[in-house]
Amino acid sequence: MMRKIPDAFVEELRRRLDIVEIVSEYVQLRRTGRSWVGLCPFHNERTPSFSVSPDRQMYHCFGCGAGGTVIRFVMDIDGLTFPEAVVKLAERAGLDPPFSLDETPGATPHSRLDGMKEAHELAAKLYSYILMNTGAGVQALTYLETRGFPRQSLVEFGLGYAPKGSDTLVRFLRRRGFAESLLVEAGLAVDVGGRVMDRFRDRVMVPIRNLQGQVIGFGGRALAPDAKPKYLNSPESPLFRKSEVLFHLDAARRQIRKLGTAVLMEGYMDVIAASRAGVTNAVASMGTSLTEQHAQLLKRYAERVILAYDGDEAGIQAAKRALDVLEQAGLSVQVALFPEGEDPDDFIRARGERAFQRYLQSNAWTEVQFLLQDLRRNANLESMSGKMAFLRGALEVLAQRATPIEQDAEIRELAREFEVSVDALKEELSQLAKTLPGRHRPRRRFERTAEAAPLPKGHVLAGNRLLQAMLLEHRWCEMLMQEGLDELPLPEQTALLAHIYQFRSEHPDADTGFLLDQLDEPALVRLASSLLMEEPPQLDARVLQDYLRTVRLYQLETAYQRVLQQSVQAQVDGRMDDAAALRGEMEALQRQIQQLKWPQWTGKLGTGLKEAGQE
């Protein structure tokens, strides 16, 4: 999709927009010198670290690392894709985008999609009017009020009522020019033996919205106690795909981003009840199993997800499935199951709103605690064989899922409860760890391990200066490409280097801000925006050669240490031929290191080496 947007259009769009003006609609800014500063909208902070540069038309948070152009800001603050943000800003700037968001293979024609969206918006208004203003909606309104839903919640979520009549909505929309075939395709109506009827009848209606706040489907809760099914959702349609939509995410995403946490529930009524209790970062997957797309949606805004499911067997199994999906997306997960037989609405009505908030905070198990509790629930702890089976299962969970700290804590608890020694459990765990595949939550692509030794500052600085030069001027990118630069000291530096090369090959004349808007990995956005916002030292070919030499010296010394360790191990193992070959490699590396350390030129070393601490 990004390749369909001409570079010239994106640059013209940025030229017409004032980033300070747009950011000010979300952040209270004050001028400091040539920049504007304020509290970052992407993380909690008390001291302003969020800076906006009108000169560069960029922003950067020196606390959490968020940064980019005005397009990236709108993408991050509103949770939009790059094309969606371009369309939104183009409308503001008075430009007609040279593409449509619906230009995907096999997509329904844009005008037909617009018709479906309009039909859904009108349907939501009709249902709401019937609930709030007519005699037909009295029973539904009474039901909602007895469930404890105040009028404010009904209005906030746009709740309505679909009456018992078989074609109330169809007649309403037909009079407004909507074809019956479109209503059937959109999921608002059904064709029964050639007669088109309303899909939803005698149900409390809950509008389901996309990230732009547009109604794309409905959830209907039956009023009649014997009605089947109790909950009925819109079918899959060109507008509504259950696997890609989370209920209430359009309204909850800012609070989710602010807190870094999303509360994931099973149904829309749970979310509405949670919101009434002050938990405004709740969303739901609407009765369908959590999908990879759902998890990726949450990953845009959250670092952590609390699974707030019912405590019955179905809820427990759903939570176990969701755990794996969320962890594969790189999210931290906790589980807060409600007592069996109680859903969030029941819990709030019985115990109150504050108790509900406290429950989510204090009763959320870690993944390991939840899985151990599930094992315990199904274990026979009255017999010795049952105890041993439980212990083995618990150790398997610890071996596959737990961090070393969690393993230590849980082993001590198990040893105390079952009167076995800590050492015995640790030995068993060690043996299991060798045979079982680990299933730890994946690290983010460029997350450094806690035990990794910090790299020398000079090498990192040299890598950053090379990247900064490439971001600022195309000629330095060409020069360093010709020099064969393909690796830098840090993994994220090397990844950004690859992105820059690819970007320049596809967009040789485009502004670097276009690259920043395309980056998906937070670590790379953080690095690139910090380099673009920083005032660089004077850069020329000689200075860059110094930085390049510093990086290559680091790479050679690292390679030398690696070969040295291999050589020592070869000698210990008695592999003398391998040891001799490795000594030859070490000698060759030493010669290259000496050549770089004592370059064949006169005078002092360049500015780049001085700054990098390699003089």
Write the pLDDT tens digit of every residue in 101-119: 655 444 455 578 889 999 9
In a domain, 582, yes or no: yes
Whether the predicted pLDDT of 456 surpasses 60: no
Instruction: Report the C-alpha gap between 593 and 591 in whole angstroms.
Output: 5
Q: Does residue 180 fall inside a structural domain?
A: yes
The answer as to whether 599 is a domain residue is yes
Instruction: Give me the mean pLDDT over the 558-564 stretch.
Output: 84
For 568-598, letters b (16+ CB in 10 Å) and e give: eebeeeeeeeebeebeebbeebeebbeebee
- Among 198-207, 271-280, 468-477, the range scoring the smallest mean pLDDT is 468-477
pLDDT reported for residue 442? 41
Max avg pLDDT among 108-112, 140-144, 436-440: 140-144
Q: What is the pLDDT of residue 613?
A: 53
The verdict on 74 and 192 lying in the same domain is no
The whole-angstrom separation of Cα 468 and Cα 320 is 45
Residues 533 and 572 in one domain: yes
Picking from 363, 389, 412, the residue at the C-terminal end of a domain is 363
Angle CA 591–594–596, to nearest 5? 110
Domain identity same for 478 and 602: yes
Same domain, 233 and 270: no
The torsion angles phi and psi of 457, rounded to 5 degrees, stand at -60, -40
8 A C-beta contact, residue 331 and residue 303:
yes
Q: Are residues 385 and 526 in the same domain?
A: no
Residue 586 and residue 508 share a domain: yes
Considering the domain architecture, whether residues 506 and 559 belong to the same structural domain is answered as yes
Q: Averaged over 14-39, what is the pLDDT? A: 89
Q: What confidence tier does 349 reach under pLDDT thresholds 50, 70, 90? A: confident
The reply to whether 544 falls in a domain is yes
Residues 210 and 354 grouped into a single domain: no
Does a structural domain hold residue 442?
A: no
Helix H or strand E encompassing 59: strand 58-61
Q: How many domains does the chain fold into?
A: 5
Residue 264 binned pLDDT confidence (cut-offs 50, 70, 90): very high
End-to-end CA distance of the chain: 48
Residue 560: predicted pLDDT:
83
Q: 469 and 538 share a domain?
A: yes
Q: What is the pLDDT of residues 309-340, one digit of tens each?
A: 988 888 899 999 999 899 888 889 999 988 87
Closest C-alpha among 302, 308, 265, 311 to residue 286:
265
pLDDT in the model for residue 437: 65
- Could you tell me the pLDDT band of residue 346, with boundaries at 50, 70 and 90? confident
Is there a single domain that holds both residue 474 and residue 598? Answer: yes
The burial of 305, by beta-carbon neighbours within 10 Å (0-12 exposed, 13-18 middle, 19 or more buried), is given as: buried
How confident is residue 100, by pLDDT bands cut at 50, 70 and 90?
low
Q: Which of 369, 374, 370, 366 is nearest to 305 (CA)?
A: 366
pLDDT at 127 (0 to 100): 97
In a domain, 441, yes or no: no
In a domain, 221, yes or no: yes
Position 424 pLDDT exceeds 60:
yes
Q: Does 519 share its domain with 594? A: yes
Mean pLDDT of the chain: 84
Instruction: Identify the pLDDT of residue 1.
Output: 39
CB 456 within 8 A of CB 490: no
Looking at residue 104, what is its pLDDT? 44
Which residue intervals of 4-69 are DSSP H helices? Answer: 7-16, 19-23
| The domain boundary residue, chosen from 189, 222, 240 | 240
Measuring CA to CA, which residue among 613, 401, 507 is closest to residue 5?
Answer: 507
Report whether pLDDT(532) > 80: yes
Q: How far from 180 is each of 176, 187, 241, CA to CA, in Å?
A: 11, 11, 21
The partner residues of 233 in beta bridges, in order of sequence, read 219
Contacts of 439 (CB under 8 A, 6+ apart): 327, 400, 401
Q: Which residues contact 562 (CB under 8 A, 6 or more apart)?
A: none
- Distance (Å, whole) CA 143 – CA 224: 11
Write out the DSSP string of 242-280.
GGG--BTHHHHHHHHHHHTEEEEESSHHHHHHHHHTT--
CB 499 within 8 A of CB 471: no
How far apart CA 123 and CA 203 sit, in angstroms, is 13
452 in a structural domain: no
Q: What is the pLDDT of residues 360-390, one digit of tens each?
A: 988 889 999 999 988 988 888 888 888 899 8
- Three-state secondary structure along 530-588? HHHHCCCCCCCHHHHHHHHHHHHHHHHHHHHHHHHHHHHHHHHHCCHHHHHHHHHHHHH
Tell me, yes or no, whether 414 and 536 share the same domain: no
CA distances from 19 to 13, 125, 212, 520 (A): 11, 35, 21, 21
pLDDT at 78: 79
This model's pTM is above 0.75: no
Chosen domain end from 210, 240, 270:
240
Structure tokens at 440: 């730890």
Q: Residue 389 belongs to what domain range?
A: 380-435
Per-residue pLDDT, 448: 40
